[in-house]
Amino acid sequence: MKKILLLATGGTIASVQGREGLTPSLTCEELIGYLPQVQQNYVIESKGLMSIDSTNMQPEFWISIAEAIYDNYNFYDGFVVTHGTDTMAFTSAALSYMLQNLHKPVVMTGSQVPISFRYTDASKNLLDAIYFACEGLAGVYIIFGGKVIIGTRAVKLRTKSYDAFASVNHPYVAYMDGTQINYLWKPSLPRDGKLKLDTSLCPDVHLLKLYPGMKPEIFDSIRQLYKGVVIESFGSGGVPFQGRDLLPKIQECIDTGLAVVVTTQCLEEGENLYLYEVGRKVAQNSVILSGDMNSEAIVPKLMWALGKSKDMYEVKRIMETPIASDLNCKK
Positions marked active-site: 12
CA distance 139 to 189: 9
Q: Is the dihedral of CA 143, 145, 148, 149 positive or negative?
A: negative
CA distance 208 to 279: 17
| Amino acid present at 114 | P
| Amino acid present at 319 | M
Q: What's the DSSP call for residue 234?
A: B
Exposure string (b/e) for 217-233, b if CB count within 10 Å is 16 or more?
A: eebeebbeebbbbbbbb
- Cβ atoms of 124 and 113 within 8 Å: the answer is no
| Helix pair angle (218-225, 247-255), 10° resolution | 20
- Cβ atoms of 47 and 64 within 8 Å: the answer is no
Q: Single out the residue of 224, 318, 302 nearest to residue 263, CA to CA.
A: 302
CA distance 150 to 168: 10
Q: Single out the residue of 65, 105, 305, 128 nearest to residue 190, CA to CA.
A: 105
Q: What is the separation of C-alpha 6 from the centre of its chain, rounded to a whole number of angstroms? A: 19
CA distance 303 to 112: 28
CA distance 258 to 202: 13
Q: What's the DSSP call for residue 238?
A: B
Q: At a CB cut-off of 8 Å and minimum separation 6, what does 80 contact? A: 4, 5, 6, 7, 44, 107, 108, 109, 126, 129, 130, 133
